[in-house]
Structure 1
Amino acid sequence: MSRAITLGALTSVVGFLAFVEFTSGILQGYYTPMLTNIARHLDIHDADVNWLEGSQLMLSALVVPAFAKLGDMVGHKRMLLISTALTAAASLVLPFTDSFIVFLIAWSLQGFYVVWLPLEIALIWSRSRSMPGRSIITARAAGILVAALEAGAITGALVGGALVDSLSLQVVLLVPAIAVVICFFVIWFGVKESPEPTGGRFDTVGLVLISFALIAFTGGLSFLRLNGVDDPLSWGLVGLGLVLVWPFAAWELRHDDPLIDVRMFRSPALGPVFLTAGLFGVSVLGAQAPLSTFARTDPDVYGYGLGTTGFATSLIIGVYLIAMIVGALLFPLIARLTRPRLTLIGASTLVGIGFLMFLPFHDTYGQLITNMVIVGLGSGALVAALPAAAASAAPPTQTGVATGLTNSVKTVGGAIASCVFGIALLQGAGGAVAEGTAGSLSGYFTVWIVCGVTALAAAVVLVFVPKEAFTDRAVVEAETEPVVR
């Protein structure tokens, strides 16, 4: 009876969190069909849309470690509320500006929603602490949350694609802002706080050090796109960002309660998960804008693309997201029948195959749909699997940090890819860019090759993960071992 009551309470929490992820999905899917409209509204080229994506990913990489750590310290619900309030405020700015700079800042601040999923997984993991089968419970909850996320993304993409063809852009941009405001009150009244926060003092020095490193690194990549790949200052900033990781790591190793326990990167289970998250971020985050603008490019004018309308583009996105839902829901089932590690390897392989299929097959609507279904099945499984795997392999006091790191590393990979893809799409585009298209066909080939190769590389990395990783047996062994500092 006690277990039934506990499980029922957890189910209730998952239900409310599923609404939060549905809202997150709206934010992630709603804008994609209208990126070209937004570019025209702001008077920028389609290739410059990558600035919006890249800046949001850069901010996300900065805030996730801090919010994840604060979630462990003071409560995951509290940090969910704060991040939702910030996301709502930024979303309300977007409909009321036509300034690219203001829009860029608000769009970046809207990226606080990326902390929702890792905080939710950490909250579920902490609330299921006394339950048997904790890993599979968390995996199933993760699958439900990701399914809700993708359902929201489908809804957002379809509604956004339909509205942008019939209403003013200002009215269209107001819809997701209202959804986030509603989400805030759902969290406030429907979600209970996670038990037993760890407390402690926040590692401000660690946050400053990693922030400088990330800003220098991603800023250097952005300048590479502005000034070209032969600019020494840009490469210097990239190098500085990499060098600054060393003092951050040294500080964290000496700190009693670090922002990020860098020893986790040496874990035979967690290290490959973080690397996989970074490689996966290249495709799941960095390729979104290029895929949308490729579909909308007029083949009669430029010789490539599909020339789709906003709504037709949203249908492509919708099919892709349905495939992600299927992948997310199949993940716990397949992981239970085989092993979580094998499921991760299979999912990464599907993503790689799907993107490489774009090279010969990209001329028709049906070809694009087929490729995206394959990519979506693997991507949905990975979105659900990575934070759940990190939670099950992390030290008991670092659950939020570990799940947050999967998102942080993923967003860093996406930010790098966004900058690289922006450069690639501009190379050789010539007059096409001047007319506002997304870029050259060779640039799109670069996008697909990089996404495919990085996904297959992730599959290879996961081969070296211990066979029993991310299972309840591994969790019990990890929690009973003494912590060595």
Structure 2
Amino acid sequence: MHRLRSAGFASIAGIVGFLAFVEFTSGILQGYYTPLLTDIARHLGIHDADVNWLEGAQLMLSALVVPVLAKLGDMLGQRKVLLVSTAVTALASFGLVFAQEFWMFLVAWALQGFYVIWLPIEIALIWSRTRERPNSARLTRTSAGVLVAALQLGAIAGALSAGALAETLPVPVLLLIPAVAVALCFFVILFGVKEAPNPVGGSLDYPGLLLLSFALIAFTGGLSLLRVNGPADLFSWLIVMLGLALLAVFARVELSRPDPLIDVRLFRSSALWPVFLTAGLFGVSVLGAQAPLSTFARTDPSVYGYGLGASAGQTSILIGSYVLSMVAGALLYAQVMKLLAPRLALIGASGLVATGYLLFLPFHDGYVQAVTNMVIAGIGSGALVAALPSAAAAAAPATQTGVATGLTNSVKTLGGAMASCVFGIALLGTLTSAPAAGEGTAGSLTGYFTVWTVCGLTAVAAAVALCFVPKTAFQDAPERVGQPPVAV
């Protein structure tokens, strides 16, 4: 925040401070519930396996609402959309407290997924308020780093507070804490954040919205069925293919619309298509690999011949190290921009993600090895979380800022959904049975090798795609004509 104030942007620094509180709360939502999932399952009287439906429902809704809310942000103003999405998230969070049936809890959990629009909308808001300033791209990058750091710190605070309170408070009281935090966010936005200037107006593309809804429901639903029924289930594949076909129809319809829900021509931009592709590939590791990391850490090597045999506390430290390294990566990204062009920094961040996961292939036998690998991947991941929406905002047309930043989140979510399906099949396809009754089962080492390889190679593919970005993309105009950062 000091860097923002010293640059003469006290008003923007204040807005970033309020938005950082919002992202801290977003982190709480993402970190708080995970340690409580078993307690929630017991509270609702459901099997542990049914908890997976919570993730699937929220993922499906998130993929749908992000492009719609991003478009509404450009049309009506980002602050208005931020307020509405926060209100829905708050109501859903309180709904979790009072839900006594699983289906009620599932609906509230899915609606809570409205928070996924917060970060792209916030970055679009900052970009819109600074667009006329000479160093708007640099200011947006720095702001994004602060917001992502707040997000990850919130995730740590949420996980630690949930773990500390789980033994002393009943589940409804535990669920009340994040609900109150989200309610506070609404008033922080209401009184602390000003609207972006000059919303572009227009009308919502309802035919496009209907097509996109059916396409995403079919695609993500088919992936969920594949994970449950296995890769041999023909019906699941037909649903996935239906979703892809509807996405193709949606793209053709949007090309003919004067004011489309998503301007698919953005994917033709030489600066934007590598960013969107990178976001999708990045979603594979940042959204799909965390559960396999946790289960590998808890696997007992004395029983299965692999794994770390870590306790719950040691696993928390491993995940905490990853999250803290993401904080460092997010904050370092803006500083690296002083030495390198944004394009090179994005390539370097993707390279760190690839290095961290590919190092698991030879080095996975010790706790220190796993922590080292995850810290390397985490630094790159934190930089990408901050960089991708800010890069999309800098490269997008003025009337499409919210749509572009939202698309980075949408395609990242779809990448995570596909990865979740692939990794679930890889780990469940070949089970290693425990030698003694009662020991349970664990995914095969081959399955974990698949996870690490896919995460590493998708990050390599992202780095290659970013090589096609124009050298001066995502930079402020004076940098292009004056003394630009190193660009090769």
Is 1:445 the equivalent of 2:416? no
Using the TM superposition, give the Cα deviation of residue 310 of structure 1 relative to its aligned residue in structure 2, in angstroms: 4.0
Using the TM superposition, give the Cα deviation of residue 299 of structure 1 relative to its aligned residue in structure 2, in angstroms: 4.4
Q: Distance in 2 between matches of 1:141 and 1:47?
A: 39
What is the letter of the counterpart of residue 388 of structure 1?
A: S
Instruction: Tell me the equivalent position of 2:285.
Output: 283
Task: Indicate conservation of the 8 Å contact 2:19/2:147, yes or no.
Answer: yes
Instruction: Rate the CA distance shift 1:36–1:426 in 2: closer, same or farther, 3 A.
Output: farther
Q: What percent of counterpart residues are identical?
A: 68
Is 1:458 the equivalent of 2:462? yes
Is 1:241 the equivalent of 2:243? yes
Using the TM superposition, give the Cα deviation of residue 336 of structure 1 relative to its aligned residue in structure 2, in angstroms: 2.6
Is 1:356 the equivalent of 2:355? no
Using the TM superposition, give the Cα deviation of residue 215 of structure 1 relative to its aligned residue in structure 2, in angstroms: 1.1
Which residue of 255, 260, 273 maps to 2:262? 260
Instruction: Rate the CA distance shift 1:330–1:292 in 2: closer, same or farther, 3 A.
Output: same
Q: Distance in 1 between matches of 2:92 and 2:135?
A: 40
Which residue of 272, 296, 302 maps to 2:274? 272
Instruction: Tell me the equivalent position of 2:486.
Output: none
Instruction: Tell me the equivalent position of 2:336.
Output: 334
Deviations 1:392-441 (A, max 9, x none): 00011000000000000001111111122222222222656997766444
What is the letter of the counterpart of residue 444 of structure 1?
A: Y
Using the TM superposition, give the Cα deviation of residue 135 of structure 1 relative to its aligned residue in structure 2, in angstroms: 0.6
What is the letter of the counterpart of residue 245 of structure 2?
A: V
SS at match of 2:161: helix
Is 1:59 the equivalent of 2:61? yes
Task: Indicate conservation of the 8 Å contact 2:304/2:432, yes or no.
Answer: no
Instruction: Rate the CA distance shift 1:378–1:298 in 2: closer, same or farther, 3 A.
Output: same
5 Å matches for 1:314-463? 314-429=316-431, 439-463=443-467
What is the letter of the counterpart of residue 337 of structure 1?
A: L
SS at match of 1:162: helix
Instruction: Tell me the equivalent position of 1:86.
Output: 88
SS at match of 2:338: helix
What is the letter of the counterpart of residue 141 of structure 2?
A: A
Q: Distance in 1 between matches of 2:341 and 2:295?
A: 38
Which residue of 168, 182, 189 maps to 1:187? 189
What is the letter of the counterpart of residue 182 of structure 2?
A: V
Using the TM superposition, give the Cα deviation of residue 243 of structure 1 relative to its aligned residue in structure 2, in angstroms: 1.0
User: What is the count of residue pairs matched by the alignment?
Assistant: 475
SS at match of 2:9: helix
Instruction: Rate the CA distance shift 1:66–1:100 in 2: closer, same or farther, 3 A.
Output: same
Is 1:122 the equivalent of 2:131? no
Q: Distance in 2 between matches of 1:41 and 1:306?
A: 31
Task: Indicate conservation of the 8 Å contact 1:284/1:414, yes or no.
Answer: yes
Q: Which moved more, 1:52-61 or 1:89-98?
A: 89-98
TM (norm. structure 2) is: 0.90
Instruction: Rate the CA distance shift 1:58–1:186 in 2: closer, same or farther, 3 A.
Output: same
Q: Distance in 2 between matches of 1:265 and 1:448?
A: 28
Using the TM superposition, give the Cα deviation of residue 221 of structure 1 relative to its aligned residue in structure 2, in angstroms: 1.2
Instruction: Rate the CA distance shift 1:394–1:474 in 2: closer, same or farther, 3 A.
Output: farther
Task: Indicate conservation of the 8 Å contact 2:134/2:478, yes or no.
Answer: no
Using the TM superposition, give the Cα deviation of residue 89 of structure 1 relative to its aligned residue in structure 2, in angstroms: 2.0
Q: Distance in 2 between matches of 1:288 and 1:248?
A: 32
Instruction: Tell me the equivalent position of 2:147.
Output: 145
* Higher relative contact order, structure no. (Cα contacts within 8 Å, ≥ 6 residues apart): 1
Q: Distance in 2 between matches of 1:475 and 1:79?
A: 33
Instruction: Rate the CA distance shift 1:463–1:41 in 2: closer, same or farther, 3 A.
Output: farther
Using the TM superposition, give the Cα deviation of residue 222 of structure 1 relative to its aligned residue in structure 2, in angstroms: 1.4
SS at match of 2:473: coil
Task: Indicate conservation of the 8 Å contact 1:54/1:418, yes or no.
Answer: no
What is the letter of the counterpart of residue 197 of structure 2?
A: P
Q: Distance in 2 between matches of 1:441 and 1:37?
A: 29
Using the TM superposition, give the Cα deviation of residue 453 of structure 1 relative to its aligned residue in structure 2, in angstroms: 1.3
Task: Indicate conservation of the 8 Å contact 1:355/1:375, yes or no.
Answer: yes
SS at match of 1:337: coil
Using the TM superposition, give the Cα deviation of residue 381 of structure 1 relative to its aligned residue in structure 2, in angstroms: 0.2
Using the TM superposition, give the Cα deviation of residue 175 of structure 1 relative to its aligned residue in structure 2, in angstroms: 2.2
Gaps of 5+ in 1: 478-485
Instruction: Rate the CA distance shift 1:57–1:434 in 2: closer, same or farther, 3 A.
Output: farther
Deviations 1:30-59 (A, max 9, x none): 233444555566666766654433332221
Instruction: Tell me the equivalent position of 1:482.
Output: none
Task: Indicate conservation of the 8 Å contact 1:278/1:411, yes or no.
Answer: yes
Deviations 1:287-323 (A, max 9, x none): 2222233333444555544454444333222221111
What is the letter of the counterpart of residue 379 of structure 2?
A: L
Instruction: Tell me the equivalent position of 2:156.
Output: 154
Is 1:172 the equivalent of 2:174? yes
